[in-house]
Each structure stands twice: as structure tokens, then as C-alpha cells.
């Protein structure tokens, strides 16, 4: 139940997926709102929350990647067309890359800003700056990279979510439920001898 099998995602992979997905999805409207609010006290506080949750995504994603390589991956349903398999795997790779590139470019903004505002993770752990050039133009570069990556990855995540809903409601297979329930079996598993009358 804890580890993945050839049939299903285990509990640890499922928890990693949903905790990271929820924080990641929340970070996009939070980031959008915090840069546009004109209430400066609120803005400062939102920046600290945004940075803290971003560092949490980075740390959890590093642990998730280690867990992924220590586990097998459940097999794709044999009914899936080749283009569907390639499309889903490309989306997963892009999402994994986003989970690292977006927090790292965010960390680069804080590190290159001439304001040098210290980064705390939930007011608890001090995160040191990355060794980067400190200048207005470096900060502008990392800000633009961070925003672009965040909004492009939101589009990839939206396609990923629509694909999962398509499997569940249209194809009616268990692609979505095996990411929810570690006891779920493979989508197209053949009936075993003992259930055939
Ligand atoms: C899952 C991780 C993250 C996501 C999805 C995310 C997303 C976003 C988004 C959508 C914006 C608004 C961009 C705009 O409209 O201009 C933003 C801004 C920002 N983010 Fe993140 N972010 C993440 C992690 C981080 C981290 C770890 C840091 C810093 C340690 C960070 C620092 C910033 C800063 C400083 C801005 C404001 C840039 C500006 O002044 O315009 N972010 N982020
Ligand atoms: C409501 C939102 C979401 C739903 C319904 C959803 C659904 C799923 C499902 C069903 C799978 C398993 C696919 C398979 O068996 O081949 C999966 C895998 C995955 N999802 Fe999501 N997802 C959501 C949000 C996200 C977000 C926001 C991210 C990242 C930013 C993400 C990243 C991934 C990755 C990287 C995998 C591949 C896992 C692996 O094979 O190691 N998901 N998702």
C-alpha cells in the first residue's frame, strides 16, 4: 500500500501528488494577486506566504523525485493509443520540471533583488540567497522568467487535469481513481480465474 506496484500508485506517491498539486495550484492566484494589490502591508505578508509555500513545493518535489526513482511506475492501460501515452508522459515531464524551475526562479528573484529582503520559510527557517548577480536588470530577468514559467505551466496543468477528467468521466477507466486509492487495480486488468463462473 505504501509503495507503487505495476497496478497502482502507493499511498506515499498519492500523498506527494495531491499535497504538491494543491499548493502549486494555490500559488498561481496567490502570486497573481500579491503583485497587483495596492495594500503594501498585505502585499509584504502575501510575499512571505508565497515564498514559504514555494520553498515547501521545492523541498517536497525533491523528496518526491527520490521516491519516484525508488519505485516502479504503474503501467499505462493497454487501450491507450501511442499518441496518448507520449502526450501524457511529455506532460508529466514538463510538470516535474516546473516543480523545480518555478520555485528556483522565484528564489532567484529574491536573491538578485537590490532590496535583499531575507526569505523565511513560514517565519521559521532562514533561506540563504542564491549566489547570483544583484541588480535591477537581473531581478527583472528572473521575474519575467518566473512569471512566464508559472503561467505556461498553468496551461500544461490545465490540460493534465482535463485529461484526467476525460479518463474518468468519458473513458470510465481507473486512471484517476488509482491516483486516489492505493488499493485500486490496473485499468484494464483481465478477470482472474476465480471470478469466472
Ligand atoms: C510552486 C511554486 C511557485 C509558483 C507556482 C509561483 C507562481 C507565481 C506567480 C503566478 C507569480 C505572479 C507573476 C506575475 O503575474 O507577475 C509569482 C510572483 C512572484 N513569485 Fe512565485 N511562484 C512559486 C514559487 C516562488 C518562490 C519559491 C519564490 C521565492 C522564494 C517566489 C517568489 C516570487 C516573487 C518575488 C514574485 C513577484 C515578482 C514581481 O515582483 O513581479 N515564488 N509567482
Ligand atoms: C485537480 C488536479 C489534478 C488531477 C485531477 C490530477 C490527476 C492525475 C492523475 C490521474 C495522474 C496519474 C496519471 C497516470 O496514471 O498516468 C497524475 C499524475 C501526475 N500529476 Fe497530476 N493531477 C492534478 C494536478 C496536478 C498538478 C497541479 C501537478 C503539478 C504541477 C501534477 C503533476 C503530476 C505528475 C508529475 C504526475 C506523474 C506522476 C508519476 O507518474 O510519477 N498534477 N495526475
Question: What cell does 25 get?
Answer: 495550484
Residue 197 in any domain: the answer is: no
Domains identified in the chain, total number: 1
Confidence of residue 33 (pLDDT cuts 50, 70, 90): very high
CB of residue 157 inside a 6 A radius of ligand 2: yes
Residue 184 pLDDT level (bands cut at 50, 70, 90): low
**Does the Cβ of 102 fall within 6 Å of ligand 2?**
no
Ligand 1 atom with the smallest distance to the CA of 29 is: 10
Q: What is the reported pLDDT for 192?
A: 41
> Which ligand 2 atom sits closest to the C-alpha of 180?
10
Give the pLDDT of residue 41. 96
- Per residue in 146-164, pLDDT tens? 999 999 999 999 999 999 9
- 135 inside domain: yes
Which ligand neighbours the alpha carbon of 25 most closely? 2
Whether 67 is covered by a domain: the verdict is yes
Q: Is residue 3 one of the residues assigned to a domain?
A: no
Within-domain flag for 153: yes
- Which percentage of the chain shows pLDDT scores above 90? 84
Whether the per-residue pLDDT at 125 is higher than 50: the answer is: yes
Q: Is the CB of 108 under 6 A from ligand 1?
A: no
Amino acid at each position: 500500500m505504501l509503495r507503487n506496484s505495476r497496478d497502482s500508485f502507493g499511498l506515499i506517491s498519492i500523498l506527494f501528488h495531491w499535497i504538491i498539486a494543491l499548493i502549486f495550484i494555490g500559488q498561481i492566484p496567490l502570486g497573481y494577486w500579491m503583485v497587483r494589490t495596492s495594500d503594501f502591508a498585505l502585499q509584504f505578508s502575501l510575499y512571505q506566504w508565497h515564498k514559504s509555500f514555494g520553498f515547501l513545493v521545492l523541498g517536497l518535489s525533491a523528496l518526491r523525485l527520490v521516491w519516484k526513482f525508488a519505485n516502479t511506475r504503474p503501467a499505462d492501460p493497454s487501450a491507450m493509443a501511442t499518441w496518448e501515452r507520449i502526450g501524457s508522459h511529455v506532460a508529466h515531464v514538463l510538470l516535474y520540471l516546473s516543480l523545480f524551475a518555478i520555485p528556483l526562479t522565484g528564489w532567484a528573484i529574491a536573491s538578485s533583488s537590490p532590496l535583499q529582503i531575507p526569505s523565511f520559510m513560514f517565519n521559521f527557517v532562514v533561506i540563504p540567497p542564491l549566489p547570483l548577480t544583484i541588480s535591477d536588470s537581473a531581478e527583472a530577468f528572473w521575474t519575467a522568467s518566473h512569471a512566464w514559467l508559472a503561467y505556461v505551466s498553468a496551461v500544461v496543468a490545465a490540460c493534465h487535469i482535463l485529461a484526467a477528467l476525460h479518463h474518468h468521466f468519458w473513458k470510465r477507466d481507473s486512471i484517476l481513481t488509482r491516483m486516489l486509492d492505493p488499493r485500486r487495480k490496473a485499468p484494464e486488468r483481465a478477470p482472474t480465474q476465480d471470478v469466472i463462473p
